[in-house]
Structure 1
Amino acid sequence: MKVCVKLFATFRNGRFKEKLCEYEAGTMVSQVIKELDLPEDQLGAVLINARHVEGDQELKDGDSLSIFPLVGGG
């Protein structure tokens, strides 16, 4: 299945901004995060098709997965 993966802010460093990726049916969000070697302790918002999801959410063909790091500031 094809999923559009979008990375934001510091997660783009050394990776990509947006990429159409091929995954096997049944792939979970957490598997993609692990495959991209994203630090889980720095995960902020994770969205599928603009809706907040958890790591155990299963991806479907045509989904758009957006991954944001934690935001700091003051």
Structure 2
Amino acid sequence: MNITVKLFATFRTGRFDIESRDYAEGTTVADVVRELSLAEKELGIMLVNSRHVKLDHRLAEGDTLALFPLLGGG
């Protein structure tokens, strides 16, 4: 199935901004995070089709997954 993956802020470093990728049926957000070598402890916001999701969310054909790191500062 085809999924659009969008990375933001520091997650883009050495990777990509937006990319269309093929995944097997049953792929979860956690599977994509592991494939991209992102540390789960650094995840801030995870959105599928502009809705907040958790790591165990199963992706579907045509979904758009957006991953944001934790933000800091003050």
Cα deviation for residue 2 of structure 1 reads 0.2
Whole-angstrom CA distance in 1 between matches of 2:15 and 2:39: 13
The structure 1 segments of at least 4 consecutive aligned residues displaced by more than 3 Å after TM superposition are none
Q: Which ranges of structure 1 fall in alignment gaps of 5 or more residues?
A: none
Deviation by residue 1:23-66 (Cα, 9 ceiling, x = unmatched): 00110110000000001111000000000000000000000000
**Aligned match of 1:34:** 34
SS at match of 2:3: strand
What is the correspondence of 1:1-74 to structure 2 with a 5 Å cutoff?
1-74=1-74
TM-score under structure 1 normalisation? 0.99
SS at match of 2:34: helix
Count how many residue pairs are aligned between Structure 1 and Structure 2.
74
The alignment-based identity, stated in percent, is 53
Q: Which ranges of structure 2 fall in alignment gaps of 5 or more residues?
A: none
Whole-angstrom CA distance in 2 between matches of 1:42 and 1:66: 14
